[in-house]
């Protein structure tokens, strides 16, 4: 049995471990610690207009999606900062369920635009393309 709930700061512990499990895996090869992941997710949920949703299957954390709404010159948009699914159960519709739920909630509020960042050539890129996300040729990512 699955349950979809709102992601809140007071319930971060399970999600911190899932975040580390996902992003320290060979797909992403990042080096998150409990402390750094806790800070990342806590900061995300402290961002104005942030929200997140979690999915449990049989009482166990399966995945979560989180981000925040932003005003643009064309109206409100939503930035998906994180979408994590337990690697042992990826490919079973969990990410799709979370994304679909978020889209329905945003549409209800009149937020029609969603954007995100992901690594080119990653499995996540294909996932988002299958869900009608396209590359934005009007923007580039720069860093120093």
pLDDT value for 63: 97
Backbone angles phi, psi at 60, to 5 degrees: -110, 145
pLDDT value for 5: 94
pLDDT, average across residues 5-31: 93
pLDDT, average across residues 58-81: 96
Total residue count of the chain as it appears in this document: 144
Fold of 2-130: Aminopeptidase (3.40.630)
Cα 80 from Cα 1, distance rounded (Å): 26
Which residues share a beta bridge with 67?
A: 51, 80
> Could you tell me the residue ranges of all domains in the chain?
2-130
């Amino acid at each position: 049995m699955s349950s979809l709930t709102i992601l809140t700061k007071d319930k971060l512990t399970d999600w911190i471990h899932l975040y580390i499990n996902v992003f320290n895996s060979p797909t992403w090869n990042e080096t998150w610690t409990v402390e750094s992941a806790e800070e990342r997710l806590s900061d995300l949920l402290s961002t104005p207009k942030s929200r997140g949703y979690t999915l449990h299957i049989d009482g166990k954390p399966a995945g979560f999606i989180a981000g925040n709404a932003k005003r643009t010159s064309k109206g409100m948009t939503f930035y998906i900062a994180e979408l994590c699914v337990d690697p042992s159960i990826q490919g079973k519709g969990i990410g799709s369920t979370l994304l679909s739920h978020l889209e329905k909630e945003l549409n209800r509020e009149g937020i029609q635009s969603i954007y995100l960042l992901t690594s080119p050539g990653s499995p996540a890129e294909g996932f988002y393309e299958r869900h009608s996300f396209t590359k934005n040729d009007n923007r580039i990512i720069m860093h120093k």
